[in-house]
Amino acid sequence: MLWRKFNGEKINLPIKEAVAETIKRESAKGIRLKVCIGTDSQVKGSETEFATVIVFLREHAGGFMFISNFKTKQPFHLKERMLTEVAKSIEIAYELCDLFIEHHVEMEVHADINTNPAFKSNDSLKEAMGYILGMGFAFKAKPEAFASSSCADKVVN
C-alpha cells in the first residue's frame, strides 16, 4: 500500500516504520496520542475506490492523518463492501498494534456503518462489530466513527 500525508507528501518508509517514528517524535515533545483507523469507499461506475486513514489525535493539540487509496473494478454488494472496508482497517490495525501497545497509545477501529436500522449499511453492523472486537480492538460505528465517516470520506476520490 502507498501512503501519503494529508498535504499530499508521500510517505517513503514502510507504514510501520513511519508510524513508529511519528509516535516517538510526538512522545519526545510530551504529546499523548490516540490513533483511530478507518476506511471508506465510493463506487463510481465500474470502479470502487477505498481510502484507509490512520488518524493521530494529539491530546489538546489537534491531529493529523496518513492516507492510502486503492481502486478496484471488482463489483461488491453493499454488505460485502462494508465488510471489505472493515477488513482493510483491521489489516492496518493488526500490522501496527504492537507499536501501540509498546508505546501505550490508545487505538480504535472505526466502521462507516450506521447504528440506525433504517440505513442499509446497518445490515453489516453485527458482523463488523464481531470482527473488530474479535480481533481485540476497540470499535466505533456511526456517528462516533469519524475516522471512516469523516476523515476517510474526505479523501476517497
Q: What's residue 123's pLDDT?
A: 84
10-residue block means of pLDDT along the chain (157 residues)?
95 98 97 97 95 96 96 94 95 97 97 87 88 94 93 88
Q: What's residue 121's pLDDT?
A: 80
Q: State the chain's maximal CA–CA distance in angstroms.
A: 47
Q: What's residue 118's pLDDT?
A: 87
Phi, psi (deg, nearest 5) at residue 54: -115, 110
Q: What's residue 31's pLDDT?
A: 95
Closest among 111, 53, 47, 109 to 79, alpha carbons compared:
111
What the block records as the C-alpha cell of 113 is: 456503518
| Coil/strand/helix, residue 110 | strand
Q: What's residue 114's pLDDT?
A: 87
Closest among 115, 118, 120, 117 to 77, alpha carbons compared:
120
What the block records as the C-alpha cell of 99 is: 507499536
Q: What's residue 120's pLDDT?
A: 83
Q: What's residue 117's pLDDT?
A: 84
Domains of the chain: 3-155 (3.30.420)
Alpha helix segments (H runs only) across the chain: 15-28, 78-102, 125-134, 146, 153-155
Sign of the dihedral through C-alpha 92, 82, 107, 154 = positive
